[in-house]
Structure 1
Amino acid sequence: MSKPSQSAYFIVSGLSGIPNIKYYYVFLLFVYFFSVLGNTIVMALICLDRNLRTPKYIAVFNLAFTDLFASSALVPKVLDIFLFNHPYIPYSDCLTFLFFCYTCLSMQSFNLVALAYDRLVAIVFPLHYQVKVTHRSMSSLIGSFWLFDIIANFIAVGLITRLSICESVVINSYFCDHGQIYRLSCNDHFPNYVLSCLYPVLIYWLPIVFILLSYFCIIVTLAKVATVHQGLKAFKTCIGHLLLVAIYFIPVLITFTSMEKIDPNTRIINLSMTSVFPPMLNPIIYTKEIKESVKKLFKIRRQSKIAVRI
């Protein structure tokens, strides 16, 4: 069997030719700066404050880490390609870009599942929370998500390497997109097509179904055993997570379900914003406990300074 003929490079052209796109690059720089700043602060506070070293905040830490990693893997390269006009990407670099972008973006979805599991057990099975949601169980859950995510994206990259790219080398996306690449091949790409159909189901649809079912159980439980005041108080602990779910899933699902009806440029802008916007907002949403942690740290430092002076 002959070795697939592989292109030496790809040309990423998804954001080219869009009117006033330079303002979008300014927006990307703004988002990237605050994503890095916010997620770094969240990770540092969780490490420094023992009160935040709970199973829930293992998931929050992992979310901040994933967001930081995702922003750093995607935004600088996108700006290099389109702002500094370097659209030519070597074949191996393109596959590396694909792997890290897919891994980070899909891990964001799994992080939301882990946080939904935490809220489900805390409200539906409160007496068993300390037993069911431990540091070990949450770490194992997140570790299994990482393992599945990495294996799935290694498979995606492996399936690309078997293709012969003998037509166009232009990728109409904002990064090295699996779907755009396999459509450039001239040999059998049916396995890639199957993966492109399974991937949204595993990464988006199954997680959102689990999250919706978990909140259905939460609402039913609160309606049965709690007063209105108690129910609202318990449900307030879910507001931050629900905002994250809405910000992440709604634009993605709208785009995937309306793929044929959306203008290609609109689709690219929408998906790119979905990739970069949640990492900036995620740290802001967990402000209540983070603010309390910051206040405690400053209070402790002030007290130690006063003690030293005395």
Structure 2
Amino acid sequence: MRIRATVAAVSGALALSALAVPAAQADEAPGSLAAVTPFGAVADEVVGDTVIKKVTVNGGKDIVVGTSKKKSVTISVTATDPSGIEDGYAFLWKGNDIDSGDVVGAMVPDAETGTCTTVNATTSTCKVTVVADPKDNIYSNVLAGKWHVFAGAAANDGDYNIREKYSSVSVKREAALTTNAAPEPVKKGKTITVTGKLTRANWDTLKFAGYTSQSVKLQFKKKGTSTYKDVKTIKSGSGGALKTTVKAGVDGSYRFVFAGTSTTPAVTSTADAIDVK
């Protein structure tokens, strides 16, 4: 089948012409990918009555990448055809158009074919695994945000269906958040200073760096209860620093909560307990 004969070429071409392209040279990526996709083309194309019913990436969750650990991501392609499904394939890519070579990043499977499970006589779900590696294909902060999902399915009778941009998935820079409330213990009515820091992965330097000018909520949970309540919202400053003051009332715990952005996931700090005398 077409999909089996050319998947290896896809992986190699994408890896060489897209994955490792530095940000400064991203717009110069080669435009030769069109000839080496599983069906010899990258534009949407349907031959026969093969239908891609569903594609799920990473269990429906955002792909969050830090500065050192590789992130394995499963892509499931469910397709149907009267003759049954022989194979399914998918990869992730970022850019505007594969055909013209406008690709700044890609995550492609090492396997030459998907691992397919039969649902019934006409339908199968095929899975592939791609890897997001901050030391390889996640090489720059420009790669944060929406990625396209390329999906294809081949039927037993030679029919096929390919979608260059079947759907999208968010690839985000891992975030970290801290909280410290002081002094402790503190007398009732006195001032408590709550500090912390909001940072996120910098894929250009492979280090965490401060995330500035972001809205972060301070929350408080009274001792003996289970619910946190909003106290105030503040902005992160230089280096992602957080600092605010509150009046001591009762024993409890403070924490900072960041809602996230299109390039950075939500994160909640570990709570810090305060003892009020």
After TM superposition, is the score higher than 0.5?
no
Higher helix share: 1
* Structure 1 length-normalised TM: 0.20
Higher strand share: 2
Bigger CA radius of gyration = 2
